[in-house]
């Protein structure tokens, strides 16, 4: 079983069946649904989804869908807390390369988890020692 960390947009695009989701990410999410992989959802991703719902960018049901992936806890989708491992890893994600703090925290989560990151963010692809899948 492989482990991955997801950025906000791939998760949303998977749940909303958005055609912008890459084939590679779609396959990873589909295999996660069948128990073949684990996708870590960084805590900051939940906060971003909440923010987007509050701003009426997405319906409230999207937040319920994300929660349904995590509750009850499974090995398929897991919440990665904003903990000391992420805070320590953030020094490996330069603000000069990735200026937005939520994006830095997502990248740092992937570094802390030692797992590839599902993301289309071109700035994040420049982070050393981080594999990005799109």
Q: How many structural domains are present in the chain?
A: 1
pTM: 0.95
Report whether 105 contacts 90 (CB < 8 A). yes
Range of the domain at 99: 2-133
On the question of pLDDT at 11 being above 90, the answer is: yes
Question: Cα separation of 36 and 40, whole Å?
Answer: 13
If one counts every other C-beta atom within 10 angstroms of the C-beta of residue 10, the result is: 28
Question: Cα separation of 117 and 85, whole Å?
Answer: 16
Domain harbouring 42, CATH code: 3.40.50.1010
Mean pLDDT within 91-111: 97
Residue 12's pLDDT band, with cuts at 50, 70 and 90, is very high
pLDDT tens figures, 61-76:
999 999 999 999 899 9
Residue 1's pLDDT band, with cuts at 50, 70 and 90, is confident
């Amino acid at each position: 079983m492989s482990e991955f960390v997801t950025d906000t947009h791939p998760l949303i695009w998977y749940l909303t069946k958005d055609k912008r989701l890459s084939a590679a990410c779609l396959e990873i999410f589909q295999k996660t649904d069948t128990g073949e992989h684990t996708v870590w959802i960084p805590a900051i991703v939940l906060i971003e989804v909440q923010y987007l719902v509050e701003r009426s960018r997405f319906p409230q049901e999207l937040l319920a869908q994300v929660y349904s992936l995590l509750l009850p806890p499974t090995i398929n989708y897991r919440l990665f807390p904003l903990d000391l491992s992420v805070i320590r890893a953030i020094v490996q994600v330069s603000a000069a390369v990735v200026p937005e703090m939520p994006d830095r925290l997502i990248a740092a989560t992937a570094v802390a988890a030692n797992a590839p990151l599902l993301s289309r963010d071109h700035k994040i692809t420049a982070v050393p020692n981080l594999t990005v899948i799109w």
